[in-house]
Structure formats: C-alpha cells, structure tokens
Structure 1
Amino acid sequence: HQTLTARCHQCVIVTSSSHLLGTHVGTAINGAECTIRMNDAPITGYEADVGNKTSFRVVAHSSLYRVLKRPQEFVNKTPETIFIFWGPPTKMQKSLLKIIQRVCASFPNMTAYVVSPSRMKQFDDLFRGETGKDREKSRSWLSTGWFTMVIAVELCDAVHVYGMVPPSYCGRHPPPRRLPYHYYEPKGPDECTTYIHNERSRKGNHHRFITEKRVFATWAGLYNITFSHPDWT
C-alpha cells in the first residue's frame, strides 16, 4: 500500500467528449508531460484527435469492468499508465478490490491505486464546501470528471482540459447542435440532454455536471486550469 506521490508540471485532461472529434489535437496531447484520461475512453482509432499517451487513467467503480475486460486496449497498449480507481466505500467492497488485485497480479507491469474511504470523504467535503450543497442530501453522485479534476489539481502545477463544455453551454440560444455524450459512442445519448437531465433530476442518484463545471470555472484562475475545444473564455 503506497501513496501516490507523482508530480507533474504540466498536465492535460482528455475528456470523453465528442467535442474532440475532428480537432486533430492528438499530437499536442501526446506532447504534454502528463496525460489523464477517464474510465473506458479508448485511444485505438481515435489517436489523431485524442492522442495515445496515457499517464493516468481515473476509473469509476461503475466503469471498472469495462476497463478490465479490455486489457489489450487499456493495460498493454500503454504500460506506463497509472490507474486510479474510485468509488463510494459501499461500492468498493471486497469483491471489487479483489478483482483489482487479481488483475494487477496478472499484469505485473500494471500500477493501480484505489482512492481510500477517508479520501472519498474529503472529495465530498470539498464539493459541499464549494457548492454549499450536500451531495448525499441532494441525491447526487460526484462524476469522474470531478475526481479527475481534483486529482489533477493535486498532481499538476498547470492543467489543460480538452473537450469540456463551459457551465452555460447547454443553455445557449439557439441551442448547441446535438453531439453524442462520448466520442466513442456515436449512437449514445446527446450531451446537453444528459447534462440537463442530470442537473435537474431529484430522483435517484445523478451527477450535478453543470454545478461541477461552475466550480471548475472558479478554480481556473486559482489552480492554473485552462480549457479548450471548446474555449471557456
């Protein structure tokens, strides 16, 4: 059990957004000192737009199986990748941790960390402190984007985010054109529909994507975070 102590001067976060398609920013992404990806966002077939360098991959408990099912894509292709698995302590019970351990045993060059329950609580407290909203009371889950951003701010001196839309984006008139939520699921749900539904929903567990982005906007100046494709300025 070691603690992750990596430090990067300059990081990029590659979101899983369709805004990256056709941008040809792959070379720029590969040129970054540290590159952070999320969940099961693949690189094969998308290298021109998303690059292939993967220093860190932040994976939610709900995406764990999708990532570990494809070791060819996620483990062998980029053996330098450090995996950071996160999930609410109730979800990261022994069975999931056992699976992670088993996979690490079968891939000796794989490095993986699991966010501890006390760290998970800190992520929650941070959300409450920044938004005044209690995540549990408002029946919402923090998204992988939230964890990735917090981890990036801790690991990196400067962060550039590719493909994340600004908080006001989905409320524009005329509304933005329909775009699949993930670049690798062209038939998947529309991005803004997903954001708005999640933000407004009062039932069940939802991500407060737009609230999270408002926080990121306030963090931009504090933590040297820039956004492009689309630009936030």
Structure 2
Amino acid sequence: SQRAAALGVLFALIMLLIIYSSGNGSEVFPYSRLRGRARRPPDLKKWGVKSGYLPVCGNKTLTARCHQCVIVTSSSHLLGTHLGAVIDGAECTIRMNDAPTTGYNADVGNKTSFRVVAHSSLYRVLKRPQEFVNKTPETIFIFWGPPTKMQKSLLKIIQRVCASFPNMTAYVVSPGRMKQFDELFRGETGKDREKSRSWLSTGWFTMVIAVELCDAIHVYGMVPPSYCGRHPPPRRLPYHYYEPKGPDECTTYIHNERSRRGNHHRFITEKRVFASWAGLYNITFSHPTW
C-alpha cells in the first residue's frame, strides 16, 4: 500500500507538472501584457545620433533633424487610402526595407527621406537601385544587423554600391547602439531578447530612430496591439501591401508572437511598447487609428 501511495503521489506530481507546462506554453512570450517594467523608459532623444550611426558613404555624421515625420509602414491597410499627397507633404518621410513606391504612390506617396533596412532585406534593396537609390537620391539609408555580419561581408557590399552611386548617403547602426536596442527591449518588456529567442523587427529600429530624429511622428498603417485578438476576427489582409499573395497579416503576427521554436519577431509586444511611448514622444497612429 505504501508503494501504491508513493506511485499515486508521483503520478499526481507528474500531472501537475504537465498541466503547469501546458498552461504556460503560450506564456513563453505572452502578448497579452508587458511584464517586468519597473522604471520609466529612457529618454531616447538623449541617446545621440552621432555615436549611434556609422557613416558608410555620403555625409559623415547623421545630423538631420525633423519637426514632423511620418512613418509609412508596409501594411496593406494603406491600399485604397489615397494618402500619397498627404505623405509627400510631410517634412520627413520614413520607409522600411524594400517597400516600393512605384505603382503604389497614390496610397503611399513617393517621398523618402529615410529608409531603414534590415540586413535580411539589404540584397533586395540594393539590387533595385532604380527604385530605391536613383528614384529618390535625397534618401538617407540606415542599415541595421548583427555587428558580425554588418562589419564583414555586408558592409563591403554597401560600400561597393555607394561607389557606383556617389550621391548615395548610407549609415550602419553601430555595435554599441545595437546593444542599446537590445537593452531597451529588455527594459520595456522584461524579456531578454536572446534568451526569449526574439528578433527585433525593422519596425522597432525605425520607431526608435524616428523618436531620435523627429519632434512629432505620425505612423500610417500600423495596427494596434489588440487588433488580431478582436471578435469577430478582422478580415484577412496581406502582410505587405506590395505582396498581394503574401501571408496573412494577423496569422504572421500571432505565429511570431507565440512561437517557441527558432527565433521570431515579437510584433504584438513591440506594438504594446509603442502604445506606451505615444504620449511620451508625440506619436500618433492612423489607418487604423489607435
């Protein structure tokens, strides 16, 4: 009977462990709330752009300052909005990765003051210079990526393109600033980026850079953090406006947020951070409105 009792206790403990593990499976990186914030966020405007962005070609220091900026996301929510003229009328316009304007200018405009580009999108941008370099020669490119990649092969590729287009201005995010981006993520979410197997998105880098450079920011096309959890669920939309047959937006967000295998962007968590910054840094969101 003692053996049976011991086996019963062991079985109960195993079941409790299974229940606990399954209950926390989706909590490895929860998107329902932020955790661990024990302080006010740092003043991002005091980071200093001169030390954070290393010149590759063009102007030697990133000294640009804008009173009013717009961030044009790559969201298909922008299709049919006819915002092109409004976007082009902004003092500074910021775009991301390889989001084109040709063929979409009625909705997303043409003007590009800054383009923030991830290491994974670098080839797609640089192999289309007529779209991304020649079309708007005033564009300032800011490339980001793991320092080991940026300081080796990718930096040389950017330098070769710069040699072919002498009017091009480009910077890379410095190793020290990359570390600051990671520390900011941990401070805002309570999660260590590497331990939680997270990749920061280009949107994360773009928002912080915009806060550094701009007095007021208007973000077009970014959905609020609660958007994909609505009932009934929102209609299916392509993740990118220029990829009509691409993956569904909410499917992409939720999969990345909840996934435990491999490294993933935590899009919804990042949006919750952005919402908390809105009042601090004069950020507004529309299409949809937050």
Q: Would you call these one fold, judging by a TM-score over 0.5? A: yes
* Structure 2 equivalent of residue 108 of structure 1: 166
- Higher helix fraction: Structure 1 or Structure 2? 2
Report how far residue 46 of structure 1 moved: 0.2
Give how far 1:77 is off.
Answer: 0.4
- Give the counterpart of 1:150 among 188, 201, 208: 208
Separation in structure 1 between the aligned mates of residue 257 and residue 138 of structure 2, nearest angstrom: 36
Deviation of 1:5 after TM superposition, in Å, equals: 1.6
1:92 aligns with 2:150: yes
SS at match of 2:68: strand
Q: C-alpha displacement at 1:90, in angstroms?
A: 2.6
Deviations 1:41-77 (A, max 9, x none): 0000000000000000000000000000000000000
Q: Matches of residues 46-85 of structure 1 in structure 2 within 5 Å?
A: 46-85=104-143
Shift of 1:94: 1.2
User: Which stretch of the first structure deviates more once superposed, 88-97 or 128-137?
Assistant: 88-97
Q: Give me the whole-angstrom Cα distance separating, in 1, the residues matched to 2:271 and 2:234.
A: 17
User: How far apart in 2 are the matches of 1:81 and 1:93?
Assistant: 22
Deviation of 1:91 after TM superposition, in Å, equals 2.5
Give CA-to-partner distance per residue, 1:120-157, whole Å, 9 cap, x none: 00011111111111100000100000000000000000
Q: How many residues align?
A: 232
Which 4+ residue blocks in structure 1 deviate beyond 2 angstroms? Answer: none
SS in 1 for 2:133: helix
Question: Following superposition of structure 1 onto structure 2, how do residues 17-32 of structure 1 map, counting pairs within 5 Å?
Answer: 17-32=75-90
1:140 aligned residue (186, 195, 198): 198
Residue aligning to 1:8: 66
Q: TM-score, normalised by structure 2?
A: 0.79
Residues of 1 paired with 2:108 and 2:76: CA distance? 10
CA–CA distance in structure 2, aligned partners of residues 146 and 139 of structure 1: 16
Shift of 1:3: 3.1
Give the superposition deviation at 1:205.
1.1
Distance in 1 (CA, whole Å) between partners of 2:151 and 2:129 is 22
Partner Cα distance (1:55, 1:74) in 2: 11
Partners of 2:255 and 2:280 lie apart in 1 by 30
Whole-angstrom distance in 2 between the partners of 1:162 and 1:24: 12
Distance 2:248 2:78 in 1: 15
Deviation of 1:6 after TM superposition, in Å, equals: 0.9
Instruction: Report SS of the residue matched to 2:149.
Output: coil
**CA positional deviation for 1:2:** 2.9
- In structure 2, the residue matched to 1:167 is 225
Q: CA offsets per residue over residues 81-116 of structure 1, 9 Å max, x none?
A: 000000011332411000000001110000000001
Report the TM-score, using the length of structure 1 for normalisation.
0.98
* Cα shift at 1:119: 0.5
Q: Distance in 2 between matches of 1:110 and 1:43?
A: 18
How far off is 1:17 after superposition? 0.3
Q: Which 5+ residue runs of structure 1 have no aligned equivalent?
A: none
CA distance in 1, matches of 2:150, 2:169: 18
Q: Is residue 125 of structure 1 aligned with residue 189 of structure 2?
A: no
**Cα distance between partner residues in 1 of 2:153 and 2:206:** 24
1:4, distance to aligned residue in structure 2 (A): 1.2
Distance, in Å, in 1 between the alignment partners of 2:252 and 2:116 is: 21
Root-mean-square deviation over aligned CA pairs: 0.8
